[in-house]
Structure 1
Amino acid sequence: MPRITVKHQRNINGFAEVQVSNATMKNLICHVAIDGHKILFRLKAIEASKWYTATDIRFNHTHFSVWCDYLKLHPQYQKP
């Protein structure tokens, strides 16, 4: 598994947020999931994703699921 850092916070409206940082020199494919909704994105080397926000104030950091893997292992997600 690649080295990533996951940050959690609450925004000014009280919604839980998550951000994923890539600590490797390789591009990654990642997803952030909450309550069955999955957002898939590519994460460049040594960069951080945007903040992904929950849709309900009752969600907290334990409701988020984060997964990342090396993009080269998943060619179906590479740009044509």
Structure 2
Amino acid sequence: MKPQQFNLFWLIPLILSSLLISLTAESKPKTVTLYAKTPKGFIKAKIKNETFEELACYIAIDGHKKKFRLLGQTESQWFTATDKHFNHTNFSTWCDYIDLYPQYKKYKQG
């Protein structure tokens, strides 16, 4: 029995489409969330923008969300928890390109 030849007609579009999907899936901006403790023992967090683009961001803890804009290559201010029982896992952070979220343009810079 003759082995079936693989058809290149189907292989090239398959490779190109998988490459396109993988590139668009990795389009989130590069940010780093930093944590520290205050001298009084409260946990605090801030976001560092490692891109050159302006970002729309928020930091939330215990249902309280602070929304702000973050310019390229800058860090936000520190946001401090109000209870010593909170730790770094209680913070929620998010950032994305501000062009995708124009409603964030009304918020102050981080």
Match of 1:62 among 71, 80, 89: 89
Give the number of the structure with larger relative contact order, counting CA–CA contacts within 8 Å between residues 6 or more apart.
1
Q: What is the total number of aligned residue pairs between the two structures? A: 79
The two structures have a TM-score, normalised by structure 2, of 0.70
The question of 1:5 aligning with 2:26 is answered no
Does the residue aligned with 1:62 lie in a helix, a strand or coil? Answer: helix
- The structure richer in strand per residue is 1
**Which structure 2 residue ranges, 5 or more long, are not aligned?**
1-27
The question of 1:34 aligning with 2:61 is answered yes
1:25 aligns with: 52
Which residue identity does 1:34 align to in structure 2?
Answer: I
Task: Measure how far apart 1:49 and its partner are.
Answer: 0.4
Identity of aligned residues (%): 47
Which residue identity does 1:10 align to in structure 2?
Answer: K
Task: Measure, in 1, the Cα distance between the counterparts of 2:46 and 2:102.
Answer: 24
The two structures have a TM-score, normalised by structure 1, of 0.95
Does the residue aligned with 2:99 lie in a helix, a strand or coil? Answer: helix
**Which structure 1 residue ranges, 5 or more long, are not aligned?**
none
Which residue identity does 1:55 align to in structure 2?
Answer: T
- The structure richer in helix per residue is 2
2:11 aligns with: none
